[in-house]
Structure 1
Amino acid sequence: MARKRKGRDISGWVLVDKPAGVTSTAVVGKVRWAFEAKKAGHAGTLDPDATGMLPIALGEATKTIPYLGDALKAYDFLVRWGRATTTDDAEGEVIETSQARPTEAEIHAALPAFVGDIRQVPPQFSAVKVDGARAYDLAREGEVMELESRDLYVDELSLTACPDRDHARFHFVCGSGGYVRSIARDLGSALGCLGHVVTLRRTWVGPFDIEEAVALSRIEELARTPEIDALLAPVATALDYMPELRATELGAHRLRHGNPGQVLPGAVEYGDLAWASFDGQPVAVGRFRAGELHPERVFNL
């Protein structure tokens, strides 16, 4: 007989301003412990040394994570010119140097090639799987891999400052699967000066903005107290970009049992992805067809 998972049946989003020096998985574990939640997950890994927005889903909110997969994400990062590293960031060993330094005009001229639909090779130290193993595990063993390039949509890459001739700051907005470290590496290569990421901060993920995030230290302060629940954002927050349809009472009942359910007319077309609500709570996400929502995910709230 399967063991019953311990913890509270609590659902919602915890928007964490992740500090440097801790993995995303470790943050999820701390948040789950602090809320005494049965189930937790996160939307988009951040490197251990990166900071910023890490949305963590508890309970039924974990069912909305797949719908954030294609959401745009924004980053602010600092590049150091003149050095290539094994990890494409400041933690790695320097493997090549250059005395060349780009001008602001040269940087601006290089940026359009990195915007739109591009191909990107992940860093050697990344979570990409190679023959069933993680690339970063193979890289730690000294193996150099030829990783395949992957499609990436880049909505924006802009130069925001040049503090000195060795550094440049950028703002970056991309779709799923983007590596800021690869952008720094490839931009340095294109400019003929080499480059790697020094600091990286994620400022928003889809509907979640860093201004709404809470420090991990604050979560630890409130851990396992009644006050901590005030930090929860509603499950439906992750669905803000998706059309909402109001279910009828009978429709909500059918949807909760995994069946197509009647919804009131809304701003959707046949086949559109939408979510249904009843009495202010999300009931299901699915496809709209002929007055009904056909559920893909059902919420037990």
Structure 2
Amino acid sequence: MHGWIILDKPLGLGSTQGVSAVKRALRTAGFDASKRGIKVGHGGTLDPLATGVLPIAIGEATKLAGRMLDSDKVYDFTIAFGAQTDTLDLEGKVIAESDLRPTLAQVDAVLPRFTGSIEQVPPAYSALKVDGARAYDLARAGEDLVLAGRRVTVFELKPSPARGGGPAKLVEGVHHERSAGGAPPPPFAEGANDPQHRVDHAPHGQGSSGGRSDPMLRAGEELDRITLTAHVSKGTYIRSLARDIALALGTVGHVTMLRRTKAGPFTLSHAISLDKLAELGIARGLEQILLPLRAGLDDIPALPLSPDQAGLLRQGRVLIG
């Protein structure tokens, strides 16, 4: 069995757990990957608190997994304004707060600054290695890390159709202190680990955020949160992007939702749930959802050849016409 199974990864599941789920389904369907020497791997980590497209490579497709790691990705993500956490997600503790809320017009005006080739500082809470150790392990141990910036490309950045406003309820889930049990698990998120502080602003004259629940936002209405869509190159940290957007707006923020809608040529239209995966494994119907090897190459140009033309090409001949 060779090809791709695309999972719609649920919240809380790690990428390696997604691979394990596919291996279990293969065993159930009579394809024991370990006994048959069939390799199974994923084509790009999607962390536990993110959802969406997770390509799983099976057999010969694992040889293309590296290319999938280098592919562009598309994400939907929600920024909650007013609080920044050390992980820049809901799992971290608050390290900065602000009363300032941007308007939709201000968000629209600042987004072009984050489009194209940009310099981005990776988060301390990330899987990057520092002197052989994972950055998130060092950050959890209390080390103050500031990683070197690097160039990434944001091909497109725009408000999502469901871009949301509403009362500031999402920030209620932020941990102001870590539990007595210690640090949170390695996050899928990025964080800007500035020293703990509070950003104070003069009153903005619009009253509290409560009651701003109309989803049809006006340009001058203040936002507690907004959902954006980003088409990005490999190596782009969405939570670093969210952090920098909030700072450019004169406030702070963290990500409360992250969903990958596209990875290379694969989209949510190709993806299946874990329940459907298990169901098809039991029914021995995994072939129904197995995409061919070439599906992983659908986003590059291809030239169909006849058998004779292919033979000539292998001999180094020039094909004309």
How far apart are residue 65 of structure 1 and its match? 2.0
How far the C-alpha of 1:265 sits from its partner, in A, is: 5.5
Whole-angstrom distance in 2 between the partners of 1:224 and 1:253: 42
Question: Could you state the TM-score of these two structures normalised by the residue count of structure 2?
Answer: 0.73
The offset of 1:244, in angstroms, is: 2.3
Aligned partners of 1:185, 1:51: CA distance in 2, in Å? 20
Query: Which residue in the other structure is 1:14 paired with?
Result: 5
* Alignment gaps of 5+ in structure 2: 27-31, 167-222
Tell me the equivalent position of 2:17.
26
| Conservation of the 8 A alpha-carbon contact between 2:82 and 2:224 | yes
Task: Say whether the 8 Å CA contact 1:23–1:48 is kept in structure 2.
Answer: yes
Counterpart in the other structure of 1:120: 120
Alignment match of 2:278 (pick from 197, 205, 220): 220
How far apart are residue 106 of structure 1 and its match? 1.2
- 261 and 26 in structure 1: CA distance in 2 versus 1, 3 angstrom threshold: farther
Alpha carbons of structure 1 residues 240 and 263: separation in structure 2 relative to 1, 3 Å: farther
Q: C-alpha separation between the residues in 2 aligned to 1:137 and 1:265?
A: 57
CA, structure 1 residues 42+265, in 2 after alignment: closer, same or farther (shift >3 Å)? farther
Measure the CA separation in 2 of the matches of 1:265 and 1:42. Answer: 39
Is 2:209 the partner of 1:151? no
Counterpart for residue 263 of structure 2: 205
**Among the aligned pairs, what percent are the same residue?**
46
Please give the secondary structure, in 1, of the residue aligned with 2:165.
strand
Tell me which amino acid in the other structure corresponds to 2:108: H
- Asked if the contact 2:76/2:258 (under 8 Å) is kept, the reply is yes
Relative to structure 1, the CA distance from residue 226 to residue 85 in structure 2 (aligned partners, 3 Å threshold; closer, same or farther) is same
Structure 1 stretches of 4+ with a deviation exceeding 3 A read: 245-255, 259-266
Instruction: Please identify which structure carries the higher strand content.
Output: 1
Question: Which residue type is aligned with residue 149 of structure 1?
Answer: G
RMSD over aligned Cα atoms = 2.2
How far off is 1:245 after superposition? 3.5
Distance 1:121 1:225, change over 3 A: same
**Cα distance, 1:97–1:57 mapped onto 2, change above 3 Å:** same
Partner Cα distance (1:108, 1:246) in 2: 44
Distance in 2 between the 1:218 and 1:263 partners? Answer: 48
Tell me which residue corresponds to 2:41: 41
1:261 CA drift (Å): 6.1
Matches within 5 A, 1:80-95: 80-95=80-95
After superposition, residues 189-204 of structure 1 pair within 5 angstroms as 189-204=247-262
1:163 and 2:159 equivalent? no
**For residues 253 and 201 of structure 1, do their structure 2 counterparts lie closer, same or farther at Cα, with a shift above 3 Å needed?**
same
Alpha-carbon shift at residue 260 of structure 1 (Å): 6.7
The offset of 1:226, in angstroms, is 2.1
Task: Select which of 283, 294, 297 maps to 1:239.
Answer: 297
| Structure 2 residue 174 is matched with structure 1 residue 183 | no
Query: Contact conserved, 1:64 with 1:238, CA < 8 A, in 2?
Result: yes
CA deviation profile, 1:228-251 (whole Å, cap 9, x unmatched): 221100010111122324456588
- Which residue number in structure 2 is paired with residue 57 of structure 1? 57
| Shift in Å, 1:29 | 1.7
1:187–1:225 Cα change, 3 Å: same
Q: TM-score, normalised by structure 1?
A: 0.78
The 1:253/1:65 distance shift into structure 2, 3 A limit, reads farther
Q: Is contact 1:17-1:210 (8 Å) kept?
A: yes
C-alpha separation in 1, matches of 2:248 and 2:72: 25
Aligned partner of 1:98 in structure 2 is 98
* C-alpha distance in structure 1 between counterparts of 2:71 and 2:302, whole Å: 17
Q: Could you tell which deviates more after superposition, 240-249 or 22-31?
A: 240-249
CA distance in 2, matches of 1:110, 1:86: 23
Alpha-carbon distance change, 265 to 237 in structure 1, aligned in 2, over 3 angstroms: farther
What is the aligned partner in structure 1 of residue 198 from structure 2?
A: none
Counterpart AA for 1:227: G
Gaps of 5+ in 1: 1-9, 267-301
Q: Distance in 2 between matches of 1:211 and 1:61?
A: 20
Are the aligned partners of 1:14 and 1:56 in contact in 2 as well (CA < 8 Å)? yes
